[in-house]
Structures are given as structure tokens and as C-alpha cells.
């Protein structure tokens, strides 16, 4: 009861005096009070209300207050009460935070450390900005988009080249792509910029240029044997004094010159469900003719004998690791009927080659070959395209030739021979005529000859 009386007297006697002092714009008001075993949280709440301050107290602020003060300011009263109870305050504008002394010093030290770290980081960043350099790198051969990805880093499975350039820039470094000019703007400390530019120059080299020559030959089925390339054996024939030697290519793509041995690289990824033994599939890398000139002579000689003819001899130039595509075929017209009438549409039936060369440092050429042969097949009155596809990878030397075989064209025909006029007599005309059916089978052979035009990959030493 005595506590409540003291609080009531405090509000009745002290608060009006403070209010009158503020109205008269006099110095900070003086207060007087007498507390006996009062809860410190209530005492501080009263002082904050008199001071027109917002009060925040932690849970560890507790205790009892017994004291009598006369004629002091609320600020002095705060300090005396807090000090006598091992408490401290932080005052920010109109907010007073009350806490234990230990917590006060912990927060003060933490704030000082945060401010010090901030100032150090700011100073280091400003110093780093002064040391930063910016350089523009113009790429001659490499794609700036890909190089930018390499510098910024990629996934582990994206290649050792990309991982090698990842991390060359500092966290504050940056690379900007200038796509229209195939250039990169690099900003970082000079040592990092120099490392990045060094790595870029190692990748920005002129790629080897490879000419891919294809000879597409339509021939009799024994044509390949006559020019020295055979299934399962090694043959040699001469043309103009030149011997056309043919080496087998084994499954690893290496040429073999051991006697008469001939290792066939088995067909790969043959689609369409047609067995090569029946002549319906495509076989790759049957043989390698080492002399392209002699091969041309042999093809010309056999063409003059009517056993085959070169129907196409396209040549394309591509860069190292860039696919070259060669296609030859025709568009097949067919009619479709709808509510709007009958229209004629076309489907493509082509023989296409996709050859991707890779030039090794020792002058070898690894060829990834994809062959596709389309044939029109009518199915229940609807024109369909039957696709046959094969892929393979072989390793040969510059100027050597790889042959693709196993592509057949079968033509069925029917003719009527007989005596003029007599063979047309009804009923008995069959006595003077003979029906004959013809069946011809011709093979398409494709010879691929890669030639390095400019090879910058020289063997070391």
C-alpha cells in the first residue's frame, strides 16, 4: 500500500511541477521522490513517461529500488538508479534502451567492430578501385559468347578448358560481352586481367581448315573389288603405272599395313531394321585409299568401261571441329485430298553426308561421319520416306580416302519382245512374243577425302 501512495504522490506533486517548468521554458525540470522497495521496471517506466521518452527494457532488467532523491533532473535520476543496479542505457533520439552493464559493453564492442570492419572494407574497396584496370580484348577466331562463359565458370562436366579459366577474376572483377564486335571488356586488378588475356590468347587461335571432297559413284556390285577395296580382303590393281593400295581400317579407326590383313570397321547405329547381309544397310569405313590421284584415275578408267559413273563430286571447306554437310537428292511430288480440293506437295528424298573433322597435332584427321539415305516408299496409297542412317568415327592421314558402301539401288523392269504385227494378234499373238523381266542392282559408293588446307597444329619438337 505504501508503494501505491508514493507513486500517487509522485504524480500529484512532481509531474505538475515539471509541466509548469516546461511551459515556462525553464531548464530541465527537477524531480523529487522517495521509493521504498519499488520494482525497478515500474520506476523506470515512470521516469520515461515524465521525460516523454520511449523506453525499451530487456528481460534481464529486474530488481528493487529504495532511495530518496530531491531536486534532480530525470536524466540524473535515470543515471543514479541504473548505476546503483548495475544497469546501463543507450539513448537514441527519443528512445532509451536499458540493459545490464555486461550486455551494454558487448553491444558497444560489437558495434565498434562492425563499424571498423565496414571502414576497412570500404577503404580496401576504394584502394582496389584505384588499382583496377579495364581492357578490351578483340577475338579473332574464338566466339566471344563461349569465352565469356569460360571466364565466368561452368559446370564440372563442361570441360577442362572452361574449368581452367574459372576463378581467374577476383570477386570484384567483371567481364562484359560486346557481342556485335566479338569482344570482351575485362575489369579487375592488373595481374588478374593479364592472366585472363593470356588464357584467351591460348584459345583464340586460327583453326585448321579442312577440305572435304566427296565422290558419289553409281556402280555395279563388283565395282568396289575392281578398284581395290573389297569386303573382307585386300586387293590391288594398277592404273597408269600407279598402284592403288588399300589398307583396312580397324574398329579403333587406325590404319593397318600388316601384309594382306584387312580389318573391317563394323557398321554402327544402323537404323531401319534392314540387315547389311541383305544389302539393305549402310556400312562405313570399308577401306582407305592412300592415293587420291590414283583413285581418280581408276574411277575414270572403270567409268569408261561402263561399270560405273561418278554422279557427283562436291567439295566443301570447313573448320576444325565444325560439321560439313553434303546432300544430293530430289523432291518427290504427291497429291493430297482435302475439303478444299486436291493439292500437290513434295517430300525430300536425299542422300546426305555430315562429316566433322578434327585435326590432331601430328597431322592425323579424325572423321565423325553420319550418312543418311532416304527412299520413297508408297504405303497404302500414301507416300512415305524410308530412312537409313549410319554413324561412325575413323582416324586417317591427311589426303587419304574413306569409302562408304552398302547403299543399293534395285530396279525392276518388264519388256515385251516379238515379231511386229504378229505379236499383236488376239489369242495367238503370244506365240510370236516373249515377256522378259529385268532386275538390276547397282551400288552407291561414297568416297570421302579430307585434305588439310592450313594446319596450325604442328607436332611439337
- The tally of CA atoms less than 13 A away on the side-chain side of residue 450 is 32
Asked if residue 147 and residue 45 are part of one domain, the reply reads: no
pLDDT digits (tens, 9 = 90+) for 379-427: 766 677 777 777 888 888 888 888 887 777 666 666 666 667 666 777 6
- Domain count for the chain: 3
Which residues does 295 contact at the CB level (< 8 Å), separation at least 6? 215, 227, 244, 289, 401, 447
> Residue 141 belongs to a domain with what CATH number?
3.30.1370.120
Say if CB 127 and CB 140 are below 8 A apart.
no
Per the domain annotation, does 287 fall within a domain? no
> Residue 49 belongs to a domain with what CATH number?
3.55.50.30
Measured from the Cβ of residue 146, the count of other Cβ atoms closer than 10 Å reads 12
Which residue did the predictor score with more confidence, 131 or 452?
A: 452
Asked if residue 418 and residue 325 are part of one domain, the reply reads: yes
Asked if residue 449 and residue 379 are part of one domain, the reply reads: yes
Outline where 235-394 has alpha helix (H): 292-304
Please give the angle made by the CA atoms of 85, 90 and 94, to the nearest 5 degrees.
120
Asked if residue 367 and residue 440 are part of one domain, the reply reads: yes
Backbone angles phi, psi at 29, to 5 degrees: -65, 150
Per the domain annotation, does 200 fall within a domain? yes
What SS3 class is residue 384? strand
Asked if residue 199 and residue 98 are part of one domain, the reply reads: no
Per the domain annotation, does 11 fall within a domain? no
Pick the closest to residue 311 from 351, 273, 342 (CA basis).
351
DSSP letters, 171-202, are TT-EEEEEGGGTEEEEEEEHHHHHHHHHHHHH
Per the domain annotation, does 301 fall within a domain? no
Largest CA distance in the chain: 153
Mean pLDDT of 230-251: 38
Q: What pLDDT was estimated at residue 111?
A: 82
Asked if residue 193 and residue 70 are part of one domain, the reply reads: no
Asked if residue 368 and residue 322 are part of one domain, the reply reads: yes
Asked if residue 382 and residue 311 are part of one domain, the reply reads: yes
What angle separates helix 40-51 from helix 74-84, to the nearest 10 degrees? 160
Instruction: Identify the domain containing residue 75 by its residue range.
Output: 30-105
Per the domain annotation, does 12 fall within a domain? no
Asked if residue 152 and residue 75 are part of one domain, the reply reads: no
DSSP letters, 21-46, are HHHTTPSSPEEEEEEEEEEHHHHHHH
Asked if residue 200 and residue 85 are part of one domain, the reply reads: no
Per the domain annotation, does 139 fall within a domain? yes
Alpha-carbon span 357 to 199, nearest angstrom: 25
Asked if residue 448 and residue 317 are part of one domain, the reply reads: yes
Q: How confident is the model at residue 284 (pLDDT cuts 50, 70, 90)?
A: very low
As a 3-state breakdown, the chain gives helix, strand, coil percent values, each rounded to 5, of 30, 45, 25
pTM score > 0.85 for this model?
A: no
Q: How confident is the model at residue 323 (pLDDT cuts 50, 70, 90)?
A: very high
Give the residue from 62, 89, 105 where a domain finishes: 105
Say if CB 187 and CB 129 are below 8 A apart.
no
Per the domain annotation, does 284 fall within a domain? no
Q: Which residue has the cell 547389311?
A: 276
Q: How confident is the model at residue 220 (pLDDT cuts 50, 70, 90)?
A: confident
Give the residue from 65, 86, 105 where a domain finishes: 105
Q: How confident is the model at residue 355 (pLDDT cuts 50, 70, 90)?
A: very high
Q: Is residue 346 pLDDT above 70, yes or no? A: yes
Per the domain annotation, does 321 fall within a domain? yes
Asked if residue 139 and residue 43 are part of one domain, the reply reads: no
Amino acid at each position: 500500500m505504501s508503494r501505491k501512495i508514493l507513486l500517487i504522490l509522485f504524480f500529484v506533486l512532481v509531474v505538475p511541477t515539471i509541466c509548469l517548468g516546461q511551459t515556462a521554458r525553464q531548464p530541465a525540470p527537477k524531480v523529487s521522490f522517495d521509493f521504498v522497495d519499488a520494482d525497478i521496471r515500474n520506476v523506470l517506466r515512470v521516469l520515461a513517461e515524465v521525460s516523454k521518452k520511449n523506453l525499451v527494457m530487456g528481460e534481464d532488467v529486474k530488481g528493487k529500488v529504495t532511495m530518496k532523491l530531491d531536486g534532480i533532473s530525470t536524466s540524473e535520476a535515470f543515471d543514479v538508479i541504473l548505476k546503483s543496479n548495475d544497469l546501463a542505457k543507450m539513448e537514441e533520439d527519443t528512445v532509451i534502451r536499458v540493459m545490464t552493464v555486461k550486455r551494454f559493453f558487448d553491444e558497444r564492442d560489437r558495434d565498434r567492430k562492425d563499424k571498423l570492419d565496414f571502414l576497412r572494407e570500404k577503404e580496401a574497396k576504394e584502394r582496389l578501385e584505384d588499382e583496377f584496370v579495364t581492357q578490351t580484348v578483340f577475338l579473332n577466331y574464338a566466339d566471344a559468347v563461349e569465352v565469356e562463359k569460360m571466364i565466368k565458370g561452368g559446370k564440372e562436366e563442361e570441360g577442362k578448358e572452361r574449368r581452367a579459366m574459372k576463378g581467374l577474376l577476383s570477386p570484384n572483377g567483371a567481364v562484359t560481352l560486346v557481342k556485335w564486335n566479338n569482344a570482351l571488356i575485362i575489369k579487375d586488378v592488373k595481374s588478374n586481367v593479364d592472366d585472363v588475356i593470356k588464357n584467351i590468347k591460348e584459345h583464340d587461335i586460327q583453326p585448321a581448315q579442312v577440305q572435304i571432297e566427296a565422290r558419289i559413284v553409281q556402280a555395279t556390285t563388283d565395282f568396289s573389288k575392281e578398284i581395290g577395296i573389297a569386303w573382307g580382303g585386300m586387293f590391288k590393281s594398277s592404273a597408269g603405272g600407279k598402284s592403288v593400295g588399300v589398307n583396312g581400317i580397324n574398329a579403333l579407326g587406325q590404319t593397318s599395313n600388316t601384309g594382306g590383313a584387312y580389318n573391317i570397321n563394323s557398321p554402327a547405329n544402323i537404323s531401319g531394321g534392314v540387315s547389311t547381309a541383305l544389302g539393305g544397310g549402310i556400312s562405313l569405313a570399308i577401306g582407305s585409299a592412300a592415293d587420291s590421284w590414283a583413285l581418280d584415275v581408276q574411277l575414270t578408267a572403270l567409268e569408261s568401261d561402263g561399270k560405273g559413273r561418278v554422279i557427283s563430286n562436291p567439295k566443301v571447306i570447313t573448320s576444325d571441329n565444325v560439321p560439313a554437310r553434303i546432300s544430293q537428292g530430289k523432291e518427290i511430288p504427291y497429291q493430297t485430298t482435302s475439303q478444299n480440293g486436291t493439292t500437290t506437295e513434295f517430300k525430300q528424298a536425299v542422300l546426305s553426308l555430315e562429316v566433322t573433322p578434327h585435326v590432331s597435332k601430328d597431322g592425323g584427321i579424325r572423321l565423325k561421319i553420319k550418312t543418311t539415305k532416304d527412299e520413297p516408299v508408297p504405303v497404302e496409297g500414301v507416300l512415305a520416306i524410308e530412312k537409313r542412317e549410319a554413324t561412325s568415327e575413323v582416324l586417317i592421314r591427311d589426303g587419304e580416302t574413306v569409302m562408304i558402301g552398302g547403299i543399293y539401288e534395285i530396279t525392276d523392269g518388264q519388256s515385251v519382245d516379238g515379231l511386229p504385227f504378229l505379236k499383236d494378234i488376239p489369242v495367238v499373238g503370244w506365240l510370236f512374243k516373249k515377256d522378259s523381266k529385268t532386275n538390276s542392282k547397282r551400288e552407291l559408293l561414297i568416297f570421302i577425302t579430307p585434305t588439310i588446307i592450313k594446319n596450325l597444329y604442328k607436332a611439337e619438337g
